């Protein structure tokens, strides 16, 4: 196993919790009255404004292009060590996603205020708790933005492309590994950080050490080095299956969408079970396979 049983189950539990919270967020953005009148799913306007006017059948091309360009820009920022630009950009992305997520439950003004507080805390005073709790909501906000822009066909193509890109970025070019290490060096990380045990001392700075994926805490008032092994799961590994579930919610219904995270978690669980310790793996090929299996099962169930 890649991690021990306790950490594996914890990763899967948090992954599923983020998926179900995200589906609830997307559901709350559905305008039930207009949906009934139109005979198809109609979404409410977002707190941040209108969604991009993209054609559902080809929107995956623009999303994929944005991912590739964004990754390239982040790599340049990391190369020239422009940490402040990285933090500002990351802060804006976090605040936007959280504003959308919180806006599904509370008034817009309060959503922006809360998102701003959590975003500032996450970027400038990071700790394990604010990192992982905020991640439970961020991807629901992103799903509420992107799920309405896709249909099942374009979302399926996007999953295939993302899975192939993830495999290439981790196993071939390895630039995704460099990006993850650079993020953690800058004390920002898009994804889950699950420590094997919480540090018991204060004033710890965190960084990922090589392929071991360990968080090393350096106590300022001591020469002693405290090592805390930490499991990580990238944000895309949470966000893309959630967007997929949001598309299923839009096109098929609630119970169908609620099955999708279970199969996505099955794919992730298979990777964590078969994976070896201290190695990087692309999770999206396994998660995407789980999503497609779930889609097939839901398709079969529709005949009964």
For 125-177, write each residue's pLDDT tens digit: 989 899 999 999 999 999 999 999 999 999 999 999 999 999 999 999 998 88
Give the model confidence (pLDDT) of 236-279 as tens digits.
999 999 999 999 999 999 999 999 999 999 999 999 999 999 88
Task: Calculate mean pLDDT across residues 10-19.
Answer: 97
Distance of CA 245 to the CA centre of its chain: 13
pLDDT of res. 227:
56
pLDDT of res. 159:
97
Helix, strand, coil % over all residues of the chain, rounded to 5: 65, 10, 25
* Among the listed residues 267, 240, 246, the one whose alpha carbon sits nearest the alpha carbon of residue 258: 246
In angstroms, the CA 113 to CA 198 distance is: 29
**C-beta atoms surrounding 297 within 10 Å:** 15
pLDDT of res. 214:
44
**C-beta atoms surrounding 226 within 10 Å:** 14
Indicate the DSSP class of residue 170. I
pLDDT of res. 136:
97
Task: Calculate mean pLDDT across residues 187-195.
Answer: 88
Q: Report residue 186's pLDDT band, with 50, 70 and 90 as the boundaries.
A: confident
Number of independent structural domains in the chain: 1
Judged against a pLDDT cut of 60, whether residue 38 lies above it is answered with yes
Domain span at residue 210 reads 5-301
Judged against a pLDDT cut of 60, whether residue 208 lies above it is answered with no
Judged against a pLDDT cut of 80, whether residue 206 lies above it is answered with no
pLDDT of res. 110:
97
Query: What are the tokens at 34?
Result: 């207009």
Judged against a pLDDT cut of 90, whether residue 213 lies above it is answered with no
Judged against a pLDDT cut of 70, whether residue 210 lies above it is answered with no
Mean pLDDT of the chain: 88
Contact call for residues 228 and 214 (beta carbons, < 8 A): yes
Judged against a pLDDT cut of 90, whether residue 78 lies above it is answered with no
């Amino acid at each position: 196993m890649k991690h021990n049983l306790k950490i594996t189950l914890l990763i899967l539990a948090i992954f599923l919790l983020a998926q179900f919270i995200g589906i609830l967020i997307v559901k709350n953005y559905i305008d039930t009255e207009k949906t009934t009148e139109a005979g198809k799913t109609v979404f409410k306007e977002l707190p941040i404004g209108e969604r991009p006017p993209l054609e559902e059948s080809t929107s995956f091309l623009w999303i994929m292009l944005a991912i590739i360009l964004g990754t390239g820009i982040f790599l340049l920022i990391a190369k020239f060590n422009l940490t402040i630009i990285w933090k500002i950009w990351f802060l804006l992305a976090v605040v936007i996603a959280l504003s959308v997520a919180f806006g599904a439950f509370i008034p817009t003004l309060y959503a922006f205020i809360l998102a701003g507080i959590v975003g500032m805390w996450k970027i400038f005073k990071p700790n394990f708790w604010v990192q992982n709790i905020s991640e439970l909501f961020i991807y629901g906000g992103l799903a509420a933005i992107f799920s309405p822009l896709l249909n099942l066909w374009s979302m399926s193509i996007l999953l295939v492309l993302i899975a192939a890109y993830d495999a290439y970025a981790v196993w071939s070019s390895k630039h995704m590994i460099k990006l993850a290490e650079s993020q953690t060096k800058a004390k920002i990380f898009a994804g889950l950080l699950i420590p094997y045990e919480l540090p018991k001392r204060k004033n710890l700075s965190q960084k990922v050490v090589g392929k071991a994926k360990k968080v090393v805490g350096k106590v300022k008032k001591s020469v002693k080095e405290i090592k805390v092994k930490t499991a990580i799961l990238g944000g895309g590994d949470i966000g893309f299956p959630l967007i997929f579930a949001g598309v299923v919610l839009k096109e098929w219904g609630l119970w169908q969408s609620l099955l999708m995270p279970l199969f996505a978690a099955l794919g992730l669980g298979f990777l964590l079970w078969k994976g070896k310790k201290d190695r990087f793996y692309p999770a999206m090929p396994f998660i995407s396979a789980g999503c497609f299996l779930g889609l097939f099962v839901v398709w079969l169930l529709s005949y009964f």
